[in-house]
Amino acid sequence: MTLAADGYMESGKSLLLVSPEYEGVTPSWFSPGFWGGQAKPVTSGGRGGAWFIDAEPANLVLRHYRRGGLMAKLAEKTYLFSSFERARSLAEFRLLVKLRSLGLTVPEPIAAIVWKYRVFWYQAAIVVKRIPGAVTFADSPSLGDEDVWRKLGQVTRQFHDQGLDHVDLNCDNVLVTGDQVYLIDFDRCRLVTESVTGTNATWKQGNLNRLHRSIEKRCTSLTSEQRRTYWDILLQAYGHSQR
């Protein structure tokens, strides 16, 4: 199997899609064992299917798609196959490319794979570039600084203005570096079409509600009074940000 010019490698049973800048990617990149000591399980945020990979020229994050909630008990890693293009990993890869082209702060996608098996099923994984120095929102040392809340409000608004419905907007899917806030984990997320992107669209409120619940649950290093103050700052920044 060789990589085609459009970044595809297909064997009938699996499909690998690779970003043009990362030609050396092979299917073994998606096995943590291939990396030996260079792969370390991610311990902060996530559902246990992610590894940080120390690699050259860039550090990577490998993620195997896993279900959460009740479905995880029935089928933790397998999904019903309809087509390669509709598989979770390919959909997220394409969405990340699109979001980056819109100027939004998301990780750079490197490669996505779909493994098909027993006719109806597949498993999937993605490799993205690790954001240097990033920590999850609740672990951020700047949690007591108004600026990071303002920034998160502005960033959420920018994503919403472009129509991105983040169906799992929680503290673990917000990463903070020195001066920037990133959103990650776009599994099942979508770009909403024009007609439903008004300011009051219910999906936007849904995203904000979910984020608020997660902040209440995870940012326990702050008092409830502080959380209320910072949430108001976030909402103000969200409301005042313009496209």
Q: Give me the residues that bind ligand ADP (CB under 6 A), please.
A: 42, 44-47, 49-50, 61, 63, 107, 128, 130-131, 134, 136, 172-173, 175, 184-185
- Among ligand ADP, Mg ion, none, what binds residue 130 when CB lies within 5 to 8 Å by partner kind? ligand ADP
Nearer to ligand ADP, 32 or 107 (CB): 107
Can residue 92 be called a binding residue for Mg ion (CB under 5 A)?
A: no
Minimum distance between the CB of residue 1 and ligand ADP, rounded to whole angstroms? 27
Distances (CA, A) of 63 to 16, 52, 135, 180, 224: 14, 9, 17, 23, 34
Q: How many CB atoms lie within 10 A of CB 12?
A: 6
Distance between CA atoms of 81 and 106, rounded to whole angstroms? Answer: 27
Q: Which residues contact 72 (CB under 8 A, 6 or more apart)?
A: 47, 66
Convert 172-194 to b/e letters by CB count within 10 Å (16 or more is b).
bbbbbeeeebbbbbbbebeebee
Pattern 37-56, Mg ion, x by CB under 5 A: ---------x----------
Q: Is the peptide bond before 57 cis (omega within 30 degrees of 0)?
A: yes
Nearer residue to Mg ion within complex by CB, 14 or 207: 207
Q: How far is the CB of 129 from ligand ADP (least distance, A)?
A: 6
Residue nearest to ligand ADP (CB): 45
Which residue from 19, 136, 140, 173 is in contact with Mg ion, where contact means CB under 5 A? 173
- Using CB under 5 A, pick the residue from 89, 159, 185, 214 that binds Mg ion: 185
In 3D space, the residue among 26, 13, 8 whose CA is nearest the CA of residue 81 turns out to be: 13
Nearer CB in complex with ligand ADP: 91/175: 175
Yes or no: say if 173 and 153 are a contact pair by the CB < 8 Å rule.
Answer: no
Give the helix/strand (H/E) hosting 9: strand 8-10
Is 168 tagged catalytic?
A: yes
Shortest Cβ 3–Mg ion spacing (Å)? 29
Catalytic residue among 147, 165, 168, 187: 168
| Spatial CB neighbours of 77, under 8 Å, sequence gap ≥ 6 | 49, 64, 65, 66, 67, 123
Nearest residue to Mg ion on Cβ basis:
185
Beta bridge partners of 62: 51, 127
Closer to ligand ADP at the Cβ: 45 or 153? 45
From the list ligand ADP, Mg ion, none, partner contacted by residue 47 (C-beta under 5 to 8 A by kind): ligand ADP
Nearest residue to 124 via CA among 132, 137, 115: 115
Cβ distance to Mg ion smaller for residue 15 or 96: 96
Contact residues toward Mg ion (CB under 5 A) are: 46, 172-173, 185
Annotated catalytic sites, by residue?
168
